[in-house]
Amino acid sequence: MHMVQKGLFEIKDISSVGKMNGKYNHSWVEESFDLEETDRDVFGTKKTRSYLGEIIGEKRRRWLIITLLLGFSLIFGRILYLQIWQGYHYRDLAENNRARTRSIPAERGIIFDRQGKPLVENVPSFLLSIVPQDLPSAKNEPVKRKQVINQIADLSGVPKENIDDLLERYKDYSYESLTIKENLDYDTALNLYIKNANLPGLLIEKSTKRHYLIGDELNQIDSVLSLSHIIGYLGKLNDGELEEKKPQGYFLNDYIGKTGLEKNYETQLHGQNGKRRIEMDAGGHEQMVLSEETPQLGKNLYLSLDLEMQKKLEKIMRNYLLRNGNKRAAGIVMDPRDGSVLAMVSLPTFDANKFSNGINQVDFNVYNSNPDHPLFNRAISGVYPSGSTIKMIVSAAALEEKVITATTAFLSAGGLQVNKWFFRDWLVGGHGLTNVRKAIAWSVNTFFYYIGGGYANFVGLGVDRLTKYMRLFNLGQKTGIDLPGEGTGFVPSKEWKKQTKGEDWYVGDTYNLSIGQGDLLVTPLQVALWTSAVANGGILYQPHLANKFYDPNTKKEEMVKPRILNQNFISAYNMSIVKEGMGDCVRVGGCQAMKSLSFTTGGKTGTAQWSAKKDNQAWYTAFAPFGTPQIVVTVLVEEGREGYVASMPIVREFLAWWGSRYLK
């Protein structure tokens, strides 16, 4: 065997390798490898370390380094963006998957009458809700999601389409519960809770619903359904209300006052919702309460309204409407000493509980299609020609402007002739010589034609001064009563007639305005307001229903102070003359049917023409007792024909009851 050995490298000549059993036995053992410089030339290894640099040039090497740096920069930047700028967002997502915030509805404040009798109550209730985030993903598990929604629809009785619409509508509120069925009683809620134990995203929530203590439409004998127009009712937040109220702590499933006092005093009655932080498992089921923020109770509202007065006035009005074949009417009872509203009735009315419980389409259609519009509060929103009730204002204005004095008299001979037009009085042949007190007592039109528009050489107030005083008495504008939806009425003017009708203003227009005909429109509340001003000597108190608030959290009361709209625009002396005229109406004039009462009153009838085909609007407004007025009662009967026929008997019966019960 020939062997060459150099350094640590050993090569055996394969020709000298022995045979074993007729086969070559290959053997190679490499212990280490090292070549001297001369040996590298033989094996072709010279300058091997410089070949890599020759394959990747300097320019390519720079681009490679730049590419690597850019790549690492992008990765590092993305990490910074996710960890720092978006860290809170993803932390919240992760936290919301682990823990959820559930609202704890605040107990809504109770509404009481002036005697402390509750008019509403909060009744425990349950909601069936779904949490979109806990449902199978619409993107990753569409089939399973559809199956779950179908199961929820079958279980709840709510159409699948409604659930789909709800999920689509509130897709941005994926972690909040969406109510699919409300007003569940305890047994129904318990059964649904048992059945939904394994359904993701479905839960039962505790709630309360508003129940109004007003009776019902089937038993109207002892009911006081007319409170529905005053108290109003609650409803779910709509999209616009949700955007407005969410910063104030309202949740998606919250209820809010939609009409009446519930709406006007929403902030005070609602209270402050609480929050409960709950740990959830992967299936969206509650595990434990992590933290809780206690809700703040809403304030209780005490009204100036007297429940017994409300009930009595409603009952009397219903009876007279039924007896006379009328269907629509409004009545206001006020305290002239401070503007407190003691009773307010608008007929026909509705049942607020049907709306509080979520009115069905059938009941809503019945109300909505009723030609007598039971949802409409005529007492504050209805506008009508005032008829002769306006004559108190015209008299006060003429006295204040010194157009007349208490003794100024005109001859009433049945009317006034102006060119080819004759403006008649209601009594054929007239009332004879008439001063302001007699004119009010007998509602003598001729007298008011004189002082309103003038005649022959006598200069009356004219339209500008007439409308000025009407506005001073708050006509043509809201009184500001604490109820939504109040009407303003309307006071016509020369400019308005020219602009809208393209006609000039004539003396006949002034005559009509002076007796409450033509385009003048007022609300029953406005008539009660100026009657109160006559009764108290010239002060316009803002009508109000709220008397005080009681905060059950702080145990403090907050009184609602009377607010004066206007005063000192008619002297006390001039107002006393108008008041005496209303007293004469009862003593010797057209209101003598009121003499049967055991105490003295002042009053004024009103009969307003408004249609050639329909009966007149019938007014009567009064105050009592005459010497020291404590109460004002104003009644309007739509199409009642005559005020002394349709409205005066209602006021008389109510005042007789009031005097026996309240007058001391």
pLDDT digits (tens, 9 = 90+) for 230-282: 999 999 888 888 888 888 888 888 889 999 999 999 999 999 988 878 776 66
Least confident of 201-205, 376-380, 535-539, 639-643: 201-205
**C-alpha angle with apex 477: 113 to 573, nearest 5 degrees?**
85
The whole-angstrom distance between residue 463's C-alpha and the CA centroid of its chain comes to 39
Kindly list the distances between the CA atom of residue 8 and the CA atoms of 12, 32, 36, 38, 654, in Å, as whole numbers in the listed order. Answer: 13, 7, 11, 15, 132
Residue 537 has a pLDDT of: 96
Alpha-carbon span 662 to 175, nearest angstrom:
57
- pLDDT for 253: 81
What CA dihedral angle connects 241, 247, 252 and 256, to 10 degrees? Answer: -50
Q: Is pLDDT above 80 for 17? A: no
- Report residue 26's pLDDT band, with 50, 70 and 90 as the boundaries: very low
The model's pTM: 0.82
Structure confidence at residue 222 (pLDDT): 75
Question: Measured between alpha carbons, how far is 468 from 211 in angstroms, rounded to an integer?
Answer: 46
The chain-wide mean pLDDT, for the chain, equals: 87
Checking if the pLDDT of 596 tops 90, the result is yes
* Model pLDDT, residue 199: 77
Q: How confident is the model at residue 12 (pLDDT cuts 50, 70, 90)?
A: very low
Of 184-188, 430-434, 438-442, the one with minimum mean pLDDT is 184-188
Quick check: 10 pLDDT over 70?
no
196 has pLDDT over 60 = yes
pLDDT greater at residue 290 or residue 507: 507
Asked if the model's pLDDT at residue 20 lies above 60, the reply is no
pLDDT band, very low/low/confident/very high, at 505 (cuts 50, 70, 90)? very high
Please determine, for residue 107, whether its predicted confidence score (pLDDT) is greater than 50. yes
pLDDT for 104: 82
pLDDT at residue 191, as a whole number: 78
What's the confidence (pLDDT) of residue 453?
96
Of the given ranges (213-227, 424-438, 457-471), which has the lowest mean pLDDT? 213-227
First vs last Cα of the chain: how many Å apart?
148
Lowest mean pLDDT among 156-160, 414-418, 424-428: 156-160
Q: pLDDT tens for residues 598-641?
A: 999 999 999 988 777 888 999 999 999 999 999 999 999 999 88
Confidence of residue 85 (pLDDT cuts 50, 70, 90): low
The token duo for 445 is 């039109």
Structural domains present in the chain = 3-46 (no CATH), 97-303 (3.90.1310.10)
User: Does residue 190 register a pLDDT over 80?
Assistant: no
Counting Cβ atoms within 10 Å, is residue 451 exposed (0-12), middle (13-18) or buried (19+)?
buried
pLDDT exceeds 60 at position 406:
yes
The residue-averaged pLDDT of 446-464 equals 96
Mean pLDDT of the region 210-236: 88
| Alpha carbon distance 533, 629 (integer Å) | 11
- pLDDT recorded at residue 54: 55
Question: Which of 219-223, 235-239, 528-532, 537-541 bottoms out in mean pLDDT, i.e. has the lowest?
Answer: 219-223
Reported as a pLDDT band with limits 50, 70 and 90, residue 68 is: confident
pLDDT at 613: 81
User: What phi and psi values does residue 240 have, to the nearest 5 degrees?
Assistant: -65, -40
For residue 375, name the pLDDT band (cuts at 50, 70, 90): very high
> What pLDDT is attached to residue 3?
46
How far apart (Å, rounded) are the C-alpha atoms in residues 443 and 437?
10
Amino acid at 526: Q
Rounded CA-CA distance 545/338 in Å is 11
How confident is the model over 654-662, as a mean pLDDT?
96
Q: Is the peptide bond before 625 cis (omega within 30 degrees of 0)?
A: yes
The mean-pLDDT minimum among 303-307, 427-431, 577-581 falls in 427-431
Q: How many whole angstroms separate alpha carbon 513 and alpha carbon 475?
A: 13
Confidence of residue 98 (pLDDT cuts 50, 70, 90): low
Residue 499: pLDDT above 70? yes
What's the pLDDT score for residue 590?
Answer: 95
Q: Where are the beta strands (DSSP E) in 530-627?
A: 540-541, 546-551, 556-559, 564-566, 602-608, 617-624
pLDDT for 43 beyond 70: no
- Residue matched to tokens 């306006």: 390
Give mean pLDDT, residues 343-353.
96
Task: Please state the rounded mean pLDDT for residues 115-136.
Answer: 89
- Mean pLDDT check: name the lowest of 28-37, 142-151, 201-210: 28-37
Q: What is the pLDDT of residue 81?
A: 64
Determine the average pLDDT of the residues in 387-414: 97
Q: Is residue 495 classed exposed, middle or buried when 0-12, 13-18 and 19+ CB atoms within 10 A define those classes?
A: exposed
At 95, the pLDDT band (50, 70, 90 cuts) reads low
Say if residue 198's pLDDT is above 90. Answer: no
* pLDDT for residue 645 is more than 90: yes
Maximum CA extent, the chain: 167
Percent of the chain with pLDDT over 90: 59
How much is the average pLDDT of 585-595?
96
Percent of the chain with pLDDT over 70: 86
pLDDT for the residue numbered 324: 93
More confident residue, 491 or 166: 491
- The answer to whether 356 touches 183, Cβ cutoff 8 Å, is no
Euclidean distance between CA atoms 279 and 285, whole angstroms: 8
CA 231, 236, 241, 246 dihedral sign is positive
